[in-house]
Amino acid sequence: MKQKNNSKQIRRVALMGLFFAMSLTFSFLENMVVIPGLPPGIKLGLSNLVTMYCLFFLGKGSAYGLALLKGLFVFLTRGPVGAFLSLCGGLLSVTVMAIADFGTKKRLSYTALSILGAVSHNVGQLIAARFLVNQFLFYYIPVLLLSGLVMGVLTGTMFGYLAPYLKKIDC
Domain regions of the chain by residue span: 2-166
User: Whole-angstrom Cα distance, residue 32 to residue 35?
Assistant: 10
pLDDT tens, position by position, 18-70: 999 999 999 888 878 777 777 777 888 899 999 999 999 899 999 999 999 99
Note the pLDDT of residue 35.
75
Q: Is the pLDDT of residue 124 over 90?
A: yes
Nearest one of 91, 57, 26 to 167, comparing CA atoms? 57
Q: What is the pLDDT of residue 132?
A: 87
* Burial letters 96-131, b for 16+ CB under 10 A, else e: bbbebbeeeeeeeebbbbbbbbbbbbbbbbbebbee
- Predicted confidence (pLDDT) at residue 120 exceeds the cutoff of 90: yes
pLDDT, the chain, mean: 88
pTM of the full structure: 0.88
C-alpha distances in angstroms, 42 versus 36, 154, 158?
A: 11, 13, 18
Per-residue pLDDT at 137 exceeds 90? no
CATH architecture observed for domain 2-166: Orthogonal Bundle (1.10)
